[in-house]
């Protein structure tokens, strides 16, 4: 019962993608019906010509009928073109709609979702799976309609020619239907496993290609080949299992259709021997047998497409059914005109309910002040900053901005007011201009240039071959680490948010450039709430307050001078860097 409801739900969701393109769908189906009608007419016309026109020496009418058949087949060519071109166009548009919906859905997902799913697997679902779905979306209804119309039409005509021979169909067709239903589930299961292995090999390829430089640096090319070979072997076995199921299906259908023709000839020959049938009738009936078998062969191809498409749509629905762990609550309000006072109240957080990163953390960052977070790696500094824009949700406690619980405001307004420059810089494949403009999509070229100047990258950009139109390559591979970091910093200058989070924002810069950008940061931070994570303590000396965090939580807090006087962890970190 539960499976039936799920199947009906899947069917309704699948049909919903036809609605925006129902005009094309109707045209496709109408042309498919006309193709079936023309195919069905040929044996009838041939029998009439052989039994009436030629014996009656009505040669003029005979050639007129033959001319009409030529015109009908020319018209059939037009219908075939429409079905092929516009039918596939409908499928492509449906594929684009599904890909749009899936991509939009992925944009809503939380960080934890992308922690669990590999990029290559998601890519496979958005490309390979959707292609199989649209092949089914186009060919499925068309094949079913043509097959049903042809089978019913041919059967009706064959009943008028010889009902004893038609009985052969009634006996054998259910056998073929039972065979199809028996193997349908096996083919769908094999197809689903194949798609999972395809997604796995795509994920491995994405990882290996992205890490090609690392592999070469560690001379691990052979290891990468071994990993690929393992994935490739699993894919090969899965593909072999699928083709095994398909081979059983196709060979079984081939045996069935050949036995079908033999049975008709045998029974028809017996009827001729007994004088109850004639040769013209048998030839005509045999022609209809060929027409009758065409949709059965078409249905054989349909079963292959159905197995692949249904498995792909099942995986599509699974992904679409996943809900973002972090979303706007009902009645969420816009966060506007903020001053920037941030408060953590007994906040605890752990990844996947395992290792606790923060425990009962309470601290307040006054509006317009700069707070620096220092301490050993793994202490939770970056995690703390990720909780403010709700990239992750707290396990307990709450975070407020100007007294507003961040869970009570819309995500869009919350994140619009927060600017982040992280140590892990990501640049999109595109131009320098496009990557800086990502800070504010509607920014003018003049504003982009001004942001680049503040980030101390304008002169370097102008020295590039195409200036701001220079392609940065995938993940910014054509730029140096410092250039990538400064472009990321230019984004934040362009966004100009009231709250800044600088997570090792100058880690890839040389000392001179870092000092120059630090002055720009201090100017940008004036009057704004700023959180700075830094291992280079020279960049946090002027912070209004410094907090030292380790795995036990906040262990020290105060100004630079106060913490040095305490002689605790901060002082040890500072002296280890500067040897004072």
| Per-residue pLDDT reduced to its tens digit, 321-349 | 888 788 888 888 888 888 888 998 888 88
- Does residue 283 sit within a domain? yes
CATH classification at residue 388: 3.40.50.300
Please give the pLDDT value at position 379. 72
Q: Are residues 16 and 88 in the same domain?
A: yes
Q: Are residues 44 and 157 in the same domain?
A: yes
Residue 563 has pLDDT above 80, yes or no: yes
Q: Which two tokens stand for residue 17?
A: 């993608």
Q: Are residues 348 and 304 in the same domain?
A: no
Contact call for residues 188 and 307 (beta carbons, < 8 A): yes
Q: Are residues 368 and 426 in the same domain?
A: yes
pLDDT in tens, 129-143: 777 777 777 777 877
Distance CA 311, CA 191 (A): 6
Distance CA 448, CA 522 (A): 20
* pLDDT confidence band for 580 (50 / 70 / 90): very low
Distance CA 163, CA 12 (A): 40
Q: Which two tokens stand for residue 447?
A: 């504003």
Look at residues 273, 290, 321 and tell me which one is the last residue of a structural domain: 321
| Cα within 13 Å of Cα(419), Cβ side | 24
The 3-state secondary structure of 520-547 reads: HHHHHHCCCEEEEECCCHHHCCCCCEEE
Q: Could you list the residue range(s) of the whole structural domain that residue 186 is in? A: 10-321
Q: Residue holding tokens 């606790």?
A: 356
Q: Which is more confidently placed, 117 or 361? A: 361
Q: Which residues contact 345 (CB under 8 A, 6 or more apart)?
A: 362, 397, 398, 399, 400
- Does residue 336 sit within a domain? no
Number of domains the chain contains: 2
Instruction: Choose the weakest-confidence range: 206-210, 325-329, 428-432, 453-457.
Output: 206-210
Q: Which residues contact 149 (CB under 8 A, 6 or more apart)?
A: 32, 33, 36, 37
288, with CB counted inside 10 A (0-12, 13-18, 19+), is buried
Residue among 285, 272, 269 nearest 43 (CA): 285
Residue 10 has pLDDT above 80, yes or no: no
Q: Are residues 423 and 523 in the same domain?
A: yes
Give the helix/strand (H/E) hosting 52: none
Q: Which is more confidently placed, 81 or 136? A: 81
Look at residues 321, 353, 368 and tell me which one is the last residue of a structural domain: 321
Q: Which residues contact 249 (CB under 8 A, 6 or more apart)?
A: 180, 183, 187, 300, 303, 304
Residue 76 has pLDDT above 80, yes or no: yes
Q: Are residues 173 and 96 in the same domain?
A: yes
Residue 353 has pLDDT above 70, yes or no: no
Measured CA angle at 152 (ends 150, 158), to 5 deg = 95
- How high does pLDDT run on average in the chain? 78
- Does residue 381 sit within a domain? yes
For residue 428, the SS3 value is coil
Instruction: Choose the weakest-confidence range: 73-82, 145-154, 317-326, 370-379.
Output: 145-154
- Beta strand 396-401 with 404-405 is antiparallel
* pLDDT confidence band for 200 (50 / 70 / 90): low
Distance CA 58, CA 56 (A): 5
Give the helix/strand (H/E) hosting 192: helix 163-210
Residue 363 has pLDDT above 80, yes or no: yes
Q: Are residues 247 and 101 in the same domain?
A: yes
pLDDT in tens, 404-432: 998 998 888 888 888 888 777 778 878 88
* pLDDT confidence band for 40 (50 / 70 / 90): confident
CATH classification at residue 71: 1.20.1560.10
- Does residue 507 sit within a domain? yes
DSSP 53: I
- Does residue 164 sit within a domain? yes
Q: Are residues 105 and 249 in the same domain?
A: yes
* Length of the chain (residues): 580
- Does residue 329 sit within a domain? no
Q: Which is more confidently placed, 472 or 50? A: 472
Contact call for residues 472 and 432 (beta carbons, < 8 A): yes
Distance CA 576, CA 536 (A): 11
Look at residues 321, 354, 382 and tell me which one is the last residue of a structural domain: 321
- Does residue 387 sit within a domain? yes
Q: Are residues 251 and 360 in the same domain?
A: no
Residue 290 has pLDDT above 80, yes or no: no
Give alpha helix (H) positions in 338-465.
381-387, 411-416, 432-437, 445-454, 458-462
Q: Are residues 211 and 163 in the same domain?
A: yes
* Cα dihedral: 116, 120, 126, 128 (round 10): -130
For residue 463, the SS3 value is coil
Give one word for 288, left, alpha or beta, with left for phi > 0 and alpha for psi -120 to 50: alpha
Residue 240 has pLDDT above 80, yes or no: no
Q: Are residues 317 and 394 in the same domain?
A: no
- Beta strand 370-374 with 396-401 is unpaired
Instruction: Choose the weakest-confidence range: 8-17, 198-207, 259-268.
Output: 198-207
Please give the pLDDT value at position 297. 67
Q: Which two tokens stand for residue 166?
A: 């038609």
DSSP secondary structure, 115-174, as one string:
HHS-HHHHHHIIIIIHHHHHHHHHHHHHHHHHHHHHHHHHHHHHHHH-HHHHHHHHHHHH
Q: Are residues 21 and 151 in the same domain?
A: yes
- Does residue 3 sit within a domain? no
For residue 308, the SS3 value is helix
């Amino acid at each position: 019962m539960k499976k039936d409801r799920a199947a009906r739900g899947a069917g309704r969701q699948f049909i919903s993608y036809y609605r925006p393109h129902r005009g094309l769908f109707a045209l496709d189906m109408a042309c498919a019906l006309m193709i079936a009608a023309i195919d069905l007419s040929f044996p009838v016309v041939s029998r009439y010509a052989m039994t009436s026109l030629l014996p009656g020496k009505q040669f003029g009418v005979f050639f007129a009928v033959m001319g009409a058949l030529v015109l009908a087949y020319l018209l059939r060519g037009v219908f075939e073109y429409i079905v092929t071109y516009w039918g596939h166009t409908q499928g492509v548009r449906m594929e684009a709609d599904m890909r749009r919906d899936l991509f939009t859905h992925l944009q809503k997902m939380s960080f934890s979702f992308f922690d669990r799913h590999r990029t290559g697997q998601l890519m496979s679902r958005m490309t390979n799976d959707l292609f199989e779905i649209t092949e089914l979306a186009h060919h499925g209804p068309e094949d079913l309609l043509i097959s049903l119309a042809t089978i019913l039409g041919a059967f009706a005509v064959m009943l008028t020619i010889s009902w004893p021979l038609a009985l052969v169909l009634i006996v054998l067709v259910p056998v073929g239907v039972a065979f199809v239903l028996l193997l349908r589930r096996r083919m769908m299961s094999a197809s689903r496993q194949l798609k999972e292995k395809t997604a796995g090999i795509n994920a491995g390829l994405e990882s290996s290609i992205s890490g090609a430089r690392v592999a070469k640096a560690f001379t691990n090319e052979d290891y990468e080949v071994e990993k690929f070979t393992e994935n490739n072997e699993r894919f090969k076995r899965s593909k072999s299992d699928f083709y095994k199921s398909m081979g059983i299906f196709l060979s079984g259908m081939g045996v069935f259709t050949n036995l079908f023709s033999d049975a008709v000839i045998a029974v028809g020959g017996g009827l001729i021997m007994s004088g109850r049938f004639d040769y013209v009738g048998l030839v005509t009936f045999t022609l209809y047998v060929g027409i009758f078998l065409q949709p059965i062969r078409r249905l054989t191809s349909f079963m292959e497409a159905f197995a692949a498409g249904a498995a792909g749509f099942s995986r599509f629905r699974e992904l679409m059914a996943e809900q973002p762990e972090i979303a706007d609550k009902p009645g969420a309000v816009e966060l506007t005109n903020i001053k920037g006072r941030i408060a953590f109240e007994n906040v605890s957080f752990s990844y996947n309910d395992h290792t606790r990163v923060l425990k009962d953390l309470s601290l307040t960052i006054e509006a317009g002040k700069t707070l620096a977070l220092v301490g050993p790696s793994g202490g939770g500094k970056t995690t703390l900053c990720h909780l403010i824009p709700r990239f992750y949700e707290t396990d307990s406690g709450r975070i407020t901005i100007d007294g507003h619980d961040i869970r009570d405001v819309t995500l869009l307004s919350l994140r619009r007011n927060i600017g982040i420059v992280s140590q892990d810089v990501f640049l999109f494949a595109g131009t320098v201009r496009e990557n800086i403009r990502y800070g504010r999509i509607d920014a003018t070229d003049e504003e982009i240039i001004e942001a680049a100047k503040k980030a101390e990258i304008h002169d370097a950009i102008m020295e590039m071959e195409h200036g701001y139109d220079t392609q940065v390559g995938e993940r910014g591979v054509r730029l140096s680490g410092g250039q990538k970091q400064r472009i990321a910093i230019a984004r934040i200058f362009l966004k100009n948010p009231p709250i800044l989070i600088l997570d090792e924002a100058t880690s890839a810069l040389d000392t001179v450039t870092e000092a120059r950008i630090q002055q720009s940061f201090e100017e940008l931070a004036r009057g704004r709430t700023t959180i700075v994570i830094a291992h280079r303590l020279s960049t946090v000396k002027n912070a209004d307050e410094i907090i030292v965090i380790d795995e036990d939580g906040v262990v020290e807090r105060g100004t630079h001078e106060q913490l040095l006087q305490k002689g605790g962890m901060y002082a040890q970190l500072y002296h280890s860097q500067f040897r004072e």
